[in-house]
Structure formats: C-alpha cells, structure tokens
C-alpha cells in the first residue's frame, strides 16, 4: 500500500482541524441575532467572485441611517462591548452568509486584483471627514433586526496592472528586486504626515470604520522580480503612478559565524541602516525625473521597464571626526536634494569616520550629520555623548566629489540640537 503524498496528508490534517473546530463552535453557539447574506460578482463578466473576503463593520453614528432601520434600533458602536468587524468569505457560487448582532452595518468585499470603492483612500489618515462620509455612502448600508436577514449584492471591478522588467545596464536581470508603484501624490501626502502639525492627530469614527472595512485590502503594490527580472503589479486603481525599485548596497566587511557562538568581529558595531538606492523607470535615480504611468480602468501596461544605469551618476565621499581629538564617533548622515524636506538617502559612517554615497546624479545637496557615542559598557558611570548637528552643502557636478573633513563639536550640558 503506497503512502499518501505530503499534500494529501496536509489536506487530511487541515480537514480534521476544521471539523474539530466546527464541532467545538457548535457546542457553544454565540449569541447572534441576525444575518447578512449576499453574492459577489465580477462587474464585467458577471461571474461569481469566489473566496472574496467579506467585511461587515458597524456603521458610525454620523452615517445616514438606512430607510429600513428603526429609529430606536441598537447600534453596536454604542455598546460597552462592541463589535468592531465581522469577517467571512464568499463560496464557490460567490455567495456568503454571516451571522451578526442586530444593528446597522456597512458591507464591503475585497479580492486581490479587484477594486472596492473607497479602499484606496481608506489608508489616508488625512482624508477629510466629508470625503470619508461620501465613501461610506457609496457602500451598501444595511440594518439587521433581531432574527432578521439583510441581503446585499456586491459588484467589483478589475483593477489595472503595470508590468515589465528590472535590468542592469549590461542587460542582466535584477533577480529578487522589490518593485513598487507609487501614486504621484504620495510625496505630498508623506509631507503632510511628517509635518510637525501632524503629531497627535487621531482618526474620526468615520475614518476608523473605513480602516476596519479595508484593513486587509492591499493592491499588489510591491512584488518581487523573477529569475528573468520580470514583475507584474495588479489591482491598481485608475490614476498616475511612478514605478521604482530599491537596491540595498551592502558595504560591510561581512560577519563570521562560529559553531561555538564566539564573535570574531571584535565587538564591531554592525550598521543600523544599509545604504539603499532607489531607481525609477525608465532609468532614473531621481524621483522627479521618473516617468509617469497613467492607468485607466483595467488597462494592462506591460513595458514599464526599470534599468539600473550608473553611467550618469557619481560618488560623494567624506569623513566625520571629533574636533577634540580626531576620533570617529558613530554618525548618521541624511542626504537631502535641493529644497526637499524629506531625505532621499541615509548612510552610516564607517569605524574610521569615512562615508561614501554612490549613484548620485548631478545636483545640489545638503548633508545633515548627527553623531553620538554610546556609554562605555565596562564603566557604568559613563554618559552618552552627543555632538552638535551640522548641515554641510555639497554640489555634485560631472565628477566624483571628496569633501573636506567635517569636525564635530560636543554638546555642552543642557544644550540640545535644534536640527535633530
């Protein structure tokens, strides 16, 4: 008698687990008082969308109450022990049936490759409340009474897709590269998020409802290239996008692993941040020079190639030392281009204080240099040392650049960095 395959054995174990779990749930039925049922369809083919995720979330009190709701109907949001989200999935026929406590609910279906109205905006914590309200009104809103059933039909449209290759200048494929699409308003939203006034902002109840509805919704915004450097990103809403990838440049000396656990690195501190270089389609190290891809409906773009071409890029080098005795403290350098407020590159200095930033296009830059020294672990009485943050301008022309040594001054007791 032949042994069952590993796949068959796995399926048997999973089936047994599901059966035992269902039996346990049947013994202690939850106190449920109604149901939400319905079907999920493809808006173009009208075929059922199988195994779609169904989210049913209590409607916030600000949402317009459906006509079928009784004025005194309880809302799970107002209960001390409230329901945050009911989650299920559609079956082979696209149908679903979820048990819920009585109340008012917003219903949404999610499936990779498809677009759910409002899902793209749900992750924007700065979305104005009136826009969030408008999104909720575009989704099915149902009332479930005690012992009653609410029915909805959910229709999803396929999103667009962007694909291509990631290559090096000699034609070799970039295997295992992470490729992402980025909306053209991403930088603007990032500016708002990182602005000091953004601190402490809490989402409204309407925004929290959107988050709960779309908590697992992710357009395939980032994928890994295959052995030919190919990628395909799908489920993209209509809009304008950049396409790019991020290369990690490992400039460390390597680590030695010993079978007895001993350390041959002599206590050398490993870099906190690897140097990362962004490359945008078609072949730019600079975000503003990237090509904009506009997608409409379920359009398929197949030629969004990204090339890593260092021929027009240069290297910026320097050294950071203490002005007191010329030793090298630990240093983090943030590189900003032009008037940008967000750093485009991060680099950590080596043990001798030198640093190197590769693949920079010509332009004007500012290096923000922050340095410190950790307390001596062998001397409990030592304090950490911080240095005054400095900003160093640098202009990269048609050749590599070597900066003069940057000498740092210790902060005195009670002093603080204004730039850090």
Pairs from 412-416 (Cβ < 8 Å, separation ≥ 24): 415/388
Residue 219 vs residue 41, higher pLDDT: 41
Residue 65 vs residue 307, higher pLDDT: 307
β pairing state of 330-337 and 345-348: antiparallel
Region 167-178: mean pLDDT is 96
pLDDT recorded at residue 29: 46
What distance lies between CA 205 and its chain's CA centroid?
Answer: 23
CA 49/CA 69 separation, integer angstroms = 29
How does DSSP classify residue 147? T
pLDDT recorded at residue 131: 80
Of the candidates 243, 258, 113, the residue with the CA atom closest to the CA atom of residue 186: 243
The DSSP H or E segment spanning 23 is helix 6-27
Domains of the chain from N-terminus onward: 30-158 (2.60.40.10), 313-420 (2.60.40.10)
pLDDT recorded at residue 178: 94
Lowest-pLDDT choice from 71-75, 98-102, 169-173, 191-195: 71-75
Region 371-383: mean pLDDT is 81
pLDDT recorded at residue 405: 96
Which pTM was predicted? 0.77
């Amino acid at each position: 008698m032949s042994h069952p395959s590993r796949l068959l054995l796995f399926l048997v174990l999973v089936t047994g687990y599901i059966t035992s779990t269902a039996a346990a749930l049947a013994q202690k039925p939850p106190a449920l008082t109604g149901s939400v049922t319905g079907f999920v369809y493809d808006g173009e083919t009208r075929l059922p969308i199988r195994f779609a995720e169904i989210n049913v979330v209590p409607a916030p009190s600000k949402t317009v109450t459906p006509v079928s709701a009784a004025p005194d109907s309880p809302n799970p949001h107002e209960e001390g022990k409230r329901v945050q989200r009911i989650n299920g999935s559609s079956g082979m026929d696209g149908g679903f049936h979820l048990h819920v406590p009585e109340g008012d609910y917003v219903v949404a279906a999610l499936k990779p490759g498809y677009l759910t109205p409002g899902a793209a905006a749900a992750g924007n914590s700065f979305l104005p409340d009136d826009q969030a309200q408008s999104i909720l009104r575009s989704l099915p809103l149902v009332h479930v009474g005690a012992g009653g059933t609410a029915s909805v039909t959910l229709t999803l449209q396929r999103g667009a897709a962007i694909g291509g290759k990631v290559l090096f200048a000699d034609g070799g494929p970039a295997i295992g590269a992470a490729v992402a699409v980025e909306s053209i308003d991403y930088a603007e939203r990032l500016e708002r998020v990182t602005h000091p006034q953004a601190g402490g902002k809490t989402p409204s109840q309407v925004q929290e409802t959107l988050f709960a509805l779309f908590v697992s919704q992710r357009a395939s915004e980032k994928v890994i290239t295959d052995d030919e450097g190919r990628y395909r990103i799908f489920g993209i809403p209509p809009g304008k996008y950049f396409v790019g990838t991020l290369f990690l440049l490992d400039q460390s000396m390597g680590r030695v692993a010993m079978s007895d656990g001993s350390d041959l690195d002599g206590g050398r501190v490993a870099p906190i941040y690897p140097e990362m270089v962004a490359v945008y389609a078609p072949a730019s190290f600079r975000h503003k020079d990237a090509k904009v891809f506009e997608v409409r409906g379920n359009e398929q773009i197949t030629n969004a190639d990204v090339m890593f071409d260092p021929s027009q890029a240069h290297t910026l080098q320097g050294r950071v030392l203490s002005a007191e005795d010329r030793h090298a403290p630990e240093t983090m350098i943030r590189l900003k281009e032009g008037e940008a407020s967000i750093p485009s590159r991060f680099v950590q200095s080596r043990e001798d204080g030198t640093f190197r930033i590769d693949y920079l296009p010509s332009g004007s830059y500012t290096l923000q240099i922050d340095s410190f020294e950790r307390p001596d672990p062998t001397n409990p009485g030592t304090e950490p040392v911080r240095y005054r943050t400095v900003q160093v301008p640098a202009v990269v022309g048609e050749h590599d650049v070597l900066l003069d040594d940057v000498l740092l001054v210790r902060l005195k007791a009670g002093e603080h960095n204004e730039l850090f």
